[in-house]
Structure 1
Amino acid sequence: MSPNTRQMAFINTAHTFTHYSLLILATAVLAIVQHDTATFGGDYGPVLALGTLMFVAYGLGSLPMGWLAEHLGRKQMMTAFFLGTGGCMVVAGLVSSPIGMMLALGLMGAFSAIYHPIGTAMLVEAAGPRVGRAVGINGVFGNVGVALAPVVTAFLAARFGWHWAFILPGLLCVGIGLFYLREPAFDARHGNAGAKPFPEIPPAVVRRAVIILMAIAAVSGLVFNAFTLLIPKLMEERLASSPDLLPVVGLLAFLATLCGGLTQYTVGQMIDRNTLKAVFLPLGVVLVPALLGLSFVDGWLVLPLSGVVAASIFGQVTVNDTMTARYIAPALRAKLYSVRFTIGFLGAACASPLVGFLHEATGNLSLAMVVLAGFGSVTLACALLFPNRKEELSPEMWARSPEAMAGRAAAAPAE
């Protein structure tokens, strides 16, 4: 196995654990409010809100990661991710109070914040010219974490108790971190010998892409996190309301999010052959009506509609990651990923209290779906405004783009 392949394997695994760890509580809460009411109470919203600090730390923690990687090294940062995230999962399973749970999850969110700005930058460097395919496969691994979290958590909570739903995956994460310690540091310059240099893209085009990318990050982070958090509760309300059906709830949530994983792989393949806007726009178009449909649909129709929403949301993640790879030079990617993910995760941090508040106020998730549809319309507007440039597929053409030609003409001395 080549150094590039090994590097991507560990990064993909880290992506799985990142999303898995953040979503354990979303399903475990259903067991906690049934079996541990003396400690945590019996209300869904307040227990779910214990994850707010986790998402705040996850968002704010992303900002300094690019700087820390420059000073400490990317290998060391990813090692801290595996050991810290896994260790905090174990602690969350051992605590016996709401405050302890909140603090353990908050620290876990801080360690999980390492992955996206550092891991994504490492991935696109190791991927070489086929960035879209690599990002698509990486997205599938992240989606596997999202999809497995409810079904595995439901099984472990029903079979062994909710504590083990945190402890067992935490131990596995630490174990993989110990294997990663033995892996030599990856050098992209040696791993991608002979790769073409990054093109000089006109600054006006880059500014437009970055502004839209940051706007997408703000709203898509909230929509992504809110939807993945509420899927187990949505399935329980609409399809399996009996407490004895917790494993069924997890399985239904798994099936819905599995659609997202399949879409991410497909989108990754499409991105290498199409402009980003050509792939992004259809994903933005289907999101709003599907979310509105989930605000009132009941019964088994909830499952395919949830699959459509998951496909749109997760497919957009692959597009957004590739935007940075195509428009930002390698030297600046880790820092921009840090800023972008900070903005996105701050939006994501609002998801837990927002879903909890709306559910507490109305007694169901209908209003939450309408609110998410409103945010989804902002994503659609961003898709409409994003540049549609054929130069993305042939980077050498940027030197002959109208903006580049105009810039050279303006810089030429008058005769």
Structure 2
Amino acid sequence: MSKLPNVTTSIFTVMSKMAAEHNAINLSQGFPNFPVDERLTEIVSRLALEDVHQYTPMSGYPPLLAKIATLVKSSYNRTIIPETEILVTAGATQAIFTTLLALLKPNEDVIILDPSYDCYEAPILLSQAKPIRVSLNDDYTPNWNTIADAFSEKTKMIIINNPHNPTGKILNESDLENLEALLEKHPDVLLLSDEVYEYITFEQKHISTHTRTKLLDRCITVSSFGKSFHVTGWKIGYLVAPEYLMKEIKKVHQFLVFSVNSICQIAISKYLDLVDVNEISSFYQKKRDYFRSLLKNSRFQLMPCEGTYFQVVSYANISNENDVDFCKRLITEFGVAAIPISTFYADGKDLKLIRFCFAKDNQTLEEAAKRLCEI
């Protein structure tokens, strides 16, 4: 008997497989197709010949833990203790899975804001807890009254994703104040903040939970070097949490992966001495602006993109098809793969919106846009 009877093949896998079969341009899955920074690959090349191939300590390579603490301090002016408040993980997905498995008990509720990334629900179900899916407004802003109504005496955690995948929205100051007020009324509820796109924001920076003193004693914040440094295949993430929560998370982590890829941890530790994370946003803003300019004469309506490397568009002026069928036809007839937004909702809510990834080289974006403008 299946523990996850309603879980099927991920929409990302489905669309990428179709893209390969039809030789389509894959703007569905969120991975870059341009080269990694040569400074980073040179570090890896040097390290391959050194004695760096055995287990690191369970929490992470100690110099990397120290560099993460420095990064959090410089980015958000938060002081954290490397040895007790940071954990290096095999990607952000493992960080989230481990956190949920460690902190949830059977029959507890977890609030998820839809549309939501697909890695939240499965570990909740495997913990025998219950996901409570609450839809954002149609403009993807949170309705805090609706969210508050979803809380009960069984609520153990709320998950936020900021900057938000798939919508590209970021939470504003009022949102954070509403969140703080809500959690103040529910002092035993934990917060899981998925901030893997924290360094990919545009006109305004996202407001990290690292900066909210009211939340720090109950918040687990998840980050991703894979997203920030264009090395998604390395699967290197990290989370920051207060020591009393981190102790529980580490108990699960040590039996799930024990420790994370040594050479990648050491390479990132050395790379952090060379790279300026503040340059990442401007790099992706140029990508975003270029992709949007290429699509301005298309029949697609461009939605706001405040962060992440995803552009949501409406195809309502083109077709009345549901978004899954439209995306499949986009591959088979026009040779471009996208992700239907309805698949991020528990109830399959279809607003005729699809998501493109613009973390691609200009040639790929130009050819994709050419095909999309012909629709």
TM-score (normalised: structure 2)? 0.28
TM-score (normalised: structure 1)? 0.26
